[in-house]
Amino acid sequence: MPYPHVLLSAAVSLDGYLDDTGPERLLLSSPADFDRVDEVRASVDAILVGAGTIRADNPRLLVNSAGRRAARVAEGRAEYPLKVTVSGSGDLDPAANFWHTGGEKLVYTTDAGAERATALLGDTADVVPLGPVLDWRALLAHLHDGRGVRRLMVEGGGTVHTQLLQQGLADELQLVLAPLLVGDPAAPRLFGPGAYQGGRLRLTGSRRIEDVVLMRYEPTAPGTGPLDTAADRHWLRTACELAALCPPSETAFSVGAVVVAADGTELARGHSREGGDPVMHAEEAALTKLDPADPRLPGATVYSSLEPCAHRASRPVPCAGLILAAGVRRVVTAWREPDTFVTAADGSGVLAAGGVEVVTVPEYAALAQLPNAHLPH
Ligand X SMILES: Nc1c(N[C@@H]2O[C@H](COP(=O)(O)O)[C@@H](O)[C@H]2O)[nH]c(=O)[nH]c1=O
For binding to ligand X (CB under 6 A), which residues are involved?
11, 25-29, 37, 49, 53, 57, 59-62, 155-156
- 25-35 burial, b at 16+ Cβ within 10 Å, e below that, comes to ebebbbeebbe
SS3 state of residue 256: strand
Query: Minimum distance from CB of 332 to ligand NDP (Å)?
Result: 26
Q: What is 214-230 written as a DSSP string?
A: EEEEE--S---SSS--H
Strands (E), 14-65: 46-50
| Under rule CB under 6 A, residue 10 binds ligand NDP | yes
Smallest gap from residue 49 Cβ to ligand NDP (A) = 5
Based on the shown chain and the rule CB under 6 A, indicate whether residue 216 belongs to the binding site for ligand NDP.
Answer: no
- Sequence length of the chain is 377
Backbone Cα Rg of the chain: 23
Is 116 one of the binding residues for ligand NDP (CB under 6 A)? no
Rounded Cα–Cα distance for residues 223 and 220 (Å): 9
Question: How many C-beta atoms surround the C-beta of residue 198 within 10 A?
Answer: 13
CB of 214 to ligand X, least distance (A): 10
Between CA 62 and CA 69 the distance in angstroms is 10
Pick what 60 binds: ligand NDP, ligand X, none; C-beta below 5 to 8 Å, kind-dependent.
Answer: ligand X
Could you give the CA distance from residue 264 to residue 334 in angstroms, rounded to a whole number? 19
How far apart CA 91 and CA 55 sit, in angstroms, is 10
Span from 10-18, 227-235, 307-315, 341-349 in contact with ligand NDP (CB under 6 A): 10-18
Q: Mark residues 117-156: x for contact with ligand NDP by CB under 6 A, - for none.
A: -----------------x--------------------xx
Site track 169-208 with ligand NDP (rule: CB under 6 A), x = hit: -------------------x--------------------
Q: For residue 371, give Cα distances in angstroms to 106, 252, 276, 341, 368.
A: 40, 11, 18, 16, 7
Q: How many residues bind ligand NDP (CB under 6 A)?
A: 27
296 binds, options ligand NDP, ligand X, none, Cβ within 5 to 8 A by partner type: none
Answer yes or no whether residue 160 interacts with ligand NDP by CB under 6 A.
yes
Using the rule CB under 6 A, give the single segment among 82-90, 141-149, 264-272, 309-317 that binds ligand NDP: 82-90
Residue 56 binds to ligand NDP (criterion: CB under 6 A):
yes
Q: With contact defined as beta carbons under 8 Å apart, do 51 and 85 qualify?
A: yes
Q: Compute the least distance from the CB of residue 216 to ligand NDP, in Å.
A: 15
Residues that bind ligand NDP (CB under 6 A): 10-11, 18-19, 25, 28, 49-53, 56-57, 86-89, 91, 134, 155-160, 163, 188
